[in-house]
Amino acid sequence: MNSETEFMIREEKEGSESVCLYVQGDLDADTSSRLKRVMSSCFSSDLQRVQVVLDDVPRMDSSGVATLVEGLRWSRASGNSFVLSGLNNSIHDLFVLAKLENEFEIVSGSVKQ
């Protein structure tokens, strides 16, 4: 199966200053550019908080991690909040191995404001 056809991002605004990006499918070299475009749009707007919900992401490779690191850089440059949630054990372990788990705001559960 082609991961590009299984990959989806649903944006859900929460008020005028916050958005949740619900990601579904593998976040990898084939799909991470799509998330990067959506996040770039979010950080170019008036949003103060961007949350990436990873409940439905079974696998992530280094391209997915790099895309999320880019989002972290954009958030720091803009002073906005960037939150990750819904990391499964293997994705959380990937962040631990990369020594990034303390760089990101990671919350349990899907949506938390």
pLDDT digits (tens, 9 = 90+) for 55-84: 999 999 999 999 999 999 999 999 999 999
Dihedral, CA atoms, 81, 41, 54, 56, nearest 10 degrees?
A: 160
- The mean predicted confidence, pLDDT, of the chain is 91
Contact of 30 with 44, CB cutoff 8 Å: no
The residue with greater pLDDT, 113 or 38, is: 38
pTM recorded for the entire structure: 0.90
